[in-house]
């Protein structure tokens, strides 16, 4: 497994494993972030159990709650097959206090990681949210999507199923007919396009949005149950 490693040591960011290989663009940058319990969660370690769905979000994002509702469903539905959902909050210190009640109030139970300094956000070139990345077990970016419109979850679920089928550790192959098409508009637009009306940019940021590159009780993983 090849990762670009990013570790936060106090105010120091340590990046290792950089490669000039052309395939490096498809390799997910590794990182370590704290969850809501203060426990360090590392992407490369999480990938050892199966595909990882990274969801960059914020408390001020209008479309994030709806998308994350579907991601909670995926987390529940495919957990036994190895899928892990990691919701990465890009809230800074200004709105950080809202994260825990925001998650708890919506009943989300997947792990929530805190990217307070936005180091990982910058590493993945995330500007508007929501922004989703699907990382396979080998640490490669299998799929990415920006924004949310009704029906986008269908495309994300199809990609999850592909990743699970390609993952020998997932046991029985996922049923590609198990996607709930009743949960969305079947006539949704191409999910590889970016609809700026379906995203939110940090109101504290004043520069024009840059390009997007594809590239309660707390448990130990920071989820709420």
pTM confidence score? 0.71
Q: How far is it, in rounded angstroms, from Cα 165 to Cα 163?
A: 5
Token pair 């825990």: residue: 100
DSSP of 62-102, one letter per residue?
A: SSHHHHHHHHHHHHHHHGGGT-EEEEEE---TTTGGGHHHH
Q: What is the pLDDT of residue 2?
A: 53
Q: What is the pLDDT of residue 204?
A: 58
**What SS3 class is residue 149?**
coil
User: Which letter does DSSP use for residue 45 in this model?
Assistant: H
Residues 141-151: what's their mean pLDDT?
96
pLDDT: which is higher, 171 or 80: 80
Q: How far is it, in rounded angstroms, from Cα 73 to Cα 106?
A: 13
> Before 130, cis peptide (omega within 30)?
yes
Residues 122-142: what's their mean pLDDT?
96
The average confidence (pLDDT) of the chain is 77
pLDDT: which is higher, 58 or 16: 58
Note the pLDDT tens digit of each residue in 103-115: 999 999 999 999 9
Q: How far is it, in rounded angstroms, from Cα 197 to Cα 52?
A: 26
Tokens of 44: 């490369």
**What SS3 class is residue 165?**
helix
Checking if the pLDDT of 78 tops 60, the result is yes
Q: What is the pLDDT of residue 114?
A: 98
Q: How far is it, in rounded angstroms, from Cα 152 to Cα 24?
A: 27
Nearby residues of 207 by Cβ (< 8 Å), 6 or more positions away: none
Note the pLDDT tens digit of each residue in 149-180: 999 999 999 999 999 998 666 554 444 444 44
Query: Mind listing the domains of the chain with CATH numbers?
Result: 5-198 (3.40.30.10)
Q: What is the pLDDT of residue 166?
A: 83
Residue 101 and residue 211 in contact, taking contact as beta carbons nearer than 8 Å? no
């Amino acid at each position: 497994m090849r990762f670009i490693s990013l570790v936060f040591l106090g105010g120091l960011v340590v990046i290792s494993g950089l490669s000039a290989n052309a395939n490096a663009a498809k390799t997910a940058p590794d990182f370590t972030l704290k969850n809501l319990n203060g426990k360090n969660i590392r992407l490369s370690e999480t990938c050892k159990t199966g595909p990882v769905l990274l969801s960059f979000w914020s408390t001020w994002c209008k479309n994030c709650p709806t998308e994350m509702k579907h991601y909670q469903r995926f987390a529940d539905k495919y957990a036994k097959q190895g899928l892990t959902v990691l919701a990465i909050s890009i809230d800074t210190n200004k709105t950080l206090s809202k994260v825990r009640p925001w998650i708890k109030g919506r009943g989300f139970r997947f792990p929530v990681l805190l990217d307070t300094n936005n180091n990982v956000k910058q590493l993945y070139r995330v500007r508007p949210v929501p922004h989703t990345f699907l990382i396979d077990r080998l640490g490669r970016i299998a799929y990415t999507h920006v924004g949310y419109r009704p029906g986008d979850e269908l495309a994300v679920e199809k990609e999850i199923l592909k990743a699970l089928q390609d993952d020998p550790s997932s046991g029985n192959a996922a049923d590609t007919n198990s996607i709930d098409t009743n949960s969305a508009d079947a006539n949704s637009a191409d999910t590889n396009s970016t609809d700026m009306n379906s995203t939110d940019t940090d109101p504290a940021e004043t520069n024009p949005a840059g390009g997007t590159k594809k590239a309660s009780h707390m448990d130990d993983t920071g989820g709420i149950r």
